[in-house]
Amino acid sequence: MKRLVLAVDGGNSKTDVAVVSEDGRVLAEARAGAFAPQRDGVAAAVDVVTSAVAALPGGGRFDQVSACLAGADLPEEEEALAREFAARGLGGDVVVRNDTFALLRAGASAPWGVAVVCGAGINAVGVSPGGAVARFPALGRISGDWGGGLDLGEEVLWHAVRAEDGRGVPTLLAGLVTAHFGTGTVTEVVLALHTGRLDDGRLHELAPGVFAAAAAGDGVATALVRRQAEEVALMAEVCLRRLGLLGTPAEVVLGGGLLTARDPLLTSLLEGEFALRMPLAVPVVAKEPPVLGAALLGLDRLGAPEAAGARLRGHYRHSPLPDPPGAAQAVS
């Protein structure tokens, strides 16, 4: 009987799971809700995975559990999540990693390189050919991070309110805020956030409007897009430097909604930053879903042949994941 991998990609907006045999065949897949251990607690976050697994045909115990998860930012967080997965009896060999490792393994042509994810937040990881790892705490501004939808949204509001009250320069971002939240003034949005009538997590919804405003020639928005490009490139550069790879051709996988959207201005600015900071680096925009990377890492752990990985990649190249949360499908 062929050994089975349970691959998990737990993200801030959705959780993808897949059951993969050691020959690279995808036997079943499912999508569930957000994986948020820092918000909901470890047990509740793992419940999201176990509910998705329960919906899979033949879901049960697996030879290897390869889970790449948002919120697994520190070694102790990875360990706590691994213990919870093991306690659910999903498998005897459980490996929990940060979700950036899945992006890297899915997007790079080899098991090494650098990955930068820029979605709701920003993070990066690098792995050398010898297995050395470079990573960041990725705890937000307190750990030196800037970028992603939430940070962009906060900057939009800051500039918008200053434009409205005269402390800042005029910007299209003020109209973006009022139009998006249906208010007459930016100040109304500020007060709604202050009193709790508006969840500050919704500020990330403003991020797409930044790129639209920049495309329309808004100087404040353009500066924000430029800063985002600089931060993405800087994280990649630091990973390459730490691993001694700045002088070596190396792939840098770019993932997360802000980067996979391929905004023309952001893409152009990134090309310039790469040429300046790390001319030998090869940027690769992620195409396949990160759950592929989690599955490939699981196959690596089993010692599966390269042909298994190629077969697995072929599946995700031609077969998209189910969209409805909790939907499951068996794959013949």
Q: Which comes out higher in pLDDT, residue 319 or 308?
A: 308
Question: Is 98 buried (19+), middle (13-18) or exposed (0-12) by CB count in 10 A?
Answer: buried
What are residue 254's DSSP bridge partners? 116, 285
Q: What is the percent of the chain with per-residue pLDDT over 90, rounded to a whole number?
A: 87
**Prediction pTM value:** 0.91
Rounded Cα distance, 254 and 129, in Å: 19
Rounded Cα distance, 166 and 328, in Å: 53
Paired tokens of 269: 């600015």
Which residues contact residue 101 at a Cβ distance below 8 angstroms, ignoring those fewer than 6 apart?
68, 115, 125, 127, 293, 297
**pLDDT value for 324:** 40
**pLDDT value for 320:** 53
Sheet of strand 113-118: strand arrangement? 133-135, 122-127, 113-118, 250-255, 281-285
User: If residue 88 lies in a helix (H) or strand (E), which one and from where to where?
Assistant: none
pLDDT for 124-174, tens place per residue? 999 999 999 999 999 999 999 999 999 999 999 999 999 999 999 999 999
Rounded Cα distance, 170 and 172, in Å: 7
- How far from the centroid of its chain's Cα atoms is residue 273's Cα? 21
Rounded Cα distance, 296 and 306, in Å: 10
pLDDT for 82-122, tens place per residue? 999 999 998 889 999 999 999 999 999 999 999 999 998 99
